[in-house]
Chains A and B, each alone.
Chain A
Amino acid sequence: MQELLQHLANALLLGSTYALLGIGLTLIFGIMRVVNFTHGELYSFGAYAVFFLEAALGVNFFVAIVVAVIAGCLLGALIEFALLRPIQGADIDTTMLVMIGAWIFMQNSELLYWGGVAKSIKTPFPEAPLQLGLISVSWLRIFVLVVGSVLIVATYFFIDHTKLGKAIRATFQDHDTAALMGINIKGIYTATFALGSGLAAAAGALLGPVFLVTPTMGDIASLKAFAIVILGGLGNITGATIGGFILAFVEELGAGYVSSGYRDAMGFVIIIVILLFKPTGLFTRADRIG
């Protein structure tokens, strides 16, 4: 019983960052129909940015996270502007190849600059975990859950209630008609890519201190993000949120009760099962953002 509770608590703490990863990817796919292979690299960028700001520049941990997220948004905007905008309207193969190229380039840049040795990020939280009845959780993980949840809620608010968020939804629902409303579609693409990238960077900035930072950390994050998005249905933000938590629970329980070596395999087991039985994703309410 105690073990189960502990696994559930761990999963809950992990789930919020997985949800961020999934929301970011599903937004970009939903609006732009771009399969974003750089998503995982934005995740590792977020982690490296925190590491770099803290270790090399001596920036405060919390400030470093905020700066990393903003830098992630800007990097996403740059990728969209420099790589995707010039090939807008090209077929999906071209877009995919460009994104795969960007992914390889980004990962190798990290390897070149920081080397292949894993880095760890120092945090201001006490080492001793917080004891809550039968379970114990680290302060860092509680921080991750709180910030992750706040970002999820903020993203919902942004999409549902701000003018830009509404324009993003309108563009998703009807591209040409959105243009007739005077919405700058190219600008929406850049904003969406920046937002999705910022969410990936946030997930990396939050999980980097929990695990270790390595140049290849983005690969598995990317695969997990795809698993979450397939689970929740492409373009479905609520699906991605719930999918993120489901993946975290399955991984945590799989690692706990099957074998910890199979932790990362659990996501793919889910994808296979979902694709076999409900290929449109668990939460498909037609095709929607929101």
Chain B
Amino acid sequence: MRLGLLLMTLAPLATAQRMDVLPQPGSAGDVVVKQFEAAAPAVGAAFPALPIHDEAGKPFHTSSLKGRWTVVVSGCLT
């Protein structure tokens, strides 16, 4: 019961703190987050399988990412 009360007390604080750092509604960052949450493959889903390239431009299939824990981070020069 005490733990429950504590969580109820802390939850609004945690939410308020998080709201401070979320992108402004309607900002480009906000649009990115909403689009991502709505359309990106969900937790538990398979990572998309398709042929792409390695960094030398040679064929690479994303299905080969199976077999080990893997981190994929999108990026570019800018």
Tell whether A pairs with B. Answer: no
